[in-house]
Chains A and B, each alone.
Chain A
Amino acid sequence: MNREAISVSALNRYVKALLEGDEVLSQVWVEGELSGVRVHEASGHIYFRTVDASASVKAVMFRSYAQRLRFLPADGMKVLLNCAVTLYERGGDYQLSVRDIVPIGEGGRQTQLEELKERLEKEGLFAAERKRPLPARPRRVAVITSSSGAVIRDIQNVAGRRDPFIELQLYAVNVQGALAVNAILRAIEALNENGGADLAIIARGGGSKDDLWLFNDEALVRAAAQLKIPFISAVGHETDFTLLDFVADLRAPTPSAAAELAVPDLHAELQRAWEQLAGMQASLSRSGAQLALRLTDAGAAVAANAAAQAAACRDKLARAQALCDSLSPLRVLERGFLYATKDGKAVRGAVSLKAGDRLSLTFRDGSAGCTIDEVSAQ
């Protein structure tokens, strides 16, 4: 009997080397169900067990891989694991070092979601009475979303266009991958502690169903329900629904829409105030017009009077003119007569004339000078 012994450490090291040296075990796909999923806060690694009907195996997904995940691993998920088999030396447990997780069996995940939804609904988390009204004029709006990407830009643009006097507080978080839930949980916690904001928006841009799945996370939904200020959920596009939408005080179809719902449009308010004032202007002009009308009435009386006077004057004038005209010597000339003047004075009779006098004869169409040859008085 060989009593030569080796240390535990050496044993584990040896077995580990054996496992890692195996060609099959260094790159293998394992099908199973996730169980006991736990994200380690400090390191970002994800720990869980993979189970089937009769067996289970430990698994770890290191942060560098976990970050690339497009969805949130959750208990009960049926998955394919791309992994290497290794051994954790300190515990002696063999485990899967997971590089990628591919969910299979959408049905199972959906069923689980329905169950969770029903459970939370029964607890009253989605009740209409829980919905708080949004502040009419928020001063500070907290936005929990990624600091990169279009979402925060869209919200900033829309909000800034509507009410540039508000302040946006960005709680920058991951909204992608397995670590996003923890980040959002921390942000919610920080927001509750900080205070200051009077409205919150939890937003994420569009993505696949897997991308958005983390907003169905039970812990996240429960934490959101504990937000001290009203919040709007804005995850994905109009057709995407997550449990966060149900617990939110208001669901917005898109992040831009969330900004519109959150922030009143001051341009429109100013416009309304202006229109109200314009209405006043109308009434002002009405009263002004009334005044003007009174003035016009008075003026009209004066004018009418003046017109009558003027007409009377005109009549008088016309009559006087007619009289003048009828008396005018010019009228006589019209009929072919003429008159004579001597030294600018009308000649009224032959008696005032003598031979050699110069006369001026005025006709209808002009005048002529002439000299008197002889005078024969009657």
Chain B
Amino acid sequence: MKKQQNDQMSFEQGLARISEISELLASGEPELEQSLALYEEACGLVARCRELLTGAELRITEISAAAGLLPNDGEG
């Protein structure tokens, strides 16, 4: 269930969850067994985020709001 939820996560959410888990682990509150489960979850998220990051492609949109622009012949 958790795994499935994590698969739906965005990079942003994943990164936030990793930090959250790190803090939880740092607090020393969870029992060892739970800590291990959290750690495992975070490791999965890191892999997932890495995958998202390498799979994503930057979007570029050209805004033509500046109407009446001359044909662009300028040098970059």
- What residues of chain A have their CB less than 8 Å away from a CB belonging to chain B? 41-42, 44, 67, 142, 145-153, 156, 159-160, 163-177, 179-180, 183, 186-187, 189-191, 193-194, 204-205, 207, 211, 266-267, 269-270, 273-274, 276-277, 279-281, 283-284, 287-288, 291
> Are A274 and B46 touching (Cβ within 8 A)?
yes
Q: Which residues of B contact A149 (CB under 8 A)?
A: 74-76
> Are B66 and A273 touching (Cβ within 8 A)?
no
In the complex with contacts A280-B25, A283-B26, A172-B49 CB distance below 8 A: no
B6 at the interface (CB under 8 A from A): no
A-contacting residues, B32-76, CB 8 Å:
32, 35-36, 39, 42-43, 46, 49-50, 53, 56-70, 72-76
> Are B61 and A170 touching (Cβ within 8 A)?
yes
> Are B58 and A276 touching (Cβ within 8 A)?
no
B15 at the interface (CB under 8 A from A): yes
> Are A190 and B74 touching (Cβ within 8 A)?
no
- What residues of chain B have their CB less than 8 Å away from a CB belonging to chain A? 10-12, 15, 18-19, 21-22, 25-26, 28, 32, 35-36, 39, 42-43, 46, 49-50, 53, 56-70, 72-76
In the complex with contacts A165-B56, A176-B75, A273-B19, A183-B61 CB distance below 8 A: no
Report the bound CA distance from A199 to B25 in whole Å: 36
Give the A-B contact count at a CB cut-off of 8 A: 156
> Are B61 and A167 touching (Cβ within 8 A)?
yes
> Are A146 and B74 touching (Cβ within 8 A)?
yes
Could you give 11 example pairs across A and B, Cβ below 8 Å?
Answer: A147-B72, A149-B75, A160-B57, A165-B12, A168-B58, A171-B65, A191-B63, A205-B75, A269-B15, A273-B18, A277-B22
> Are B19 and A44 touching (Cβ within 8 A)?
no
Q: Which residues of B contact A283 (CB under 8 A)?
A: 25-26, 28
Q: A270-B50, A273-B22 are in contact. List 19 more A-B contacts (CB 8 A).
A: A146-B72, A148-B72, A149-B75, A156-B58, A165-B12, A166-B58, A170-B62, A170-B63, A175-B74, A175-B75, A266-B53, A267-B53, A269-B15, A276-B22, A277-B18, A281-B39, A283-B28, A284-B32, A291-B32
In the complex with contacts A150-B76, A175-B74, A277-B18, A170-B60 CB distance below 8 A: yes
Report the bound CA distance from A150 to B73 in whole Å: 13
- Point out which of B46, B56, B60, B74 has the most chain A C-beta atoms below 10 A from its C-beta: B74
> Are A174 and B73 touching (Cβ within 8 A)?
yes
Report the bound CA distance from A183 to B65 in whole Å: 11
> Are B59 and A167 touching (Cβ within 8 A)?
yes
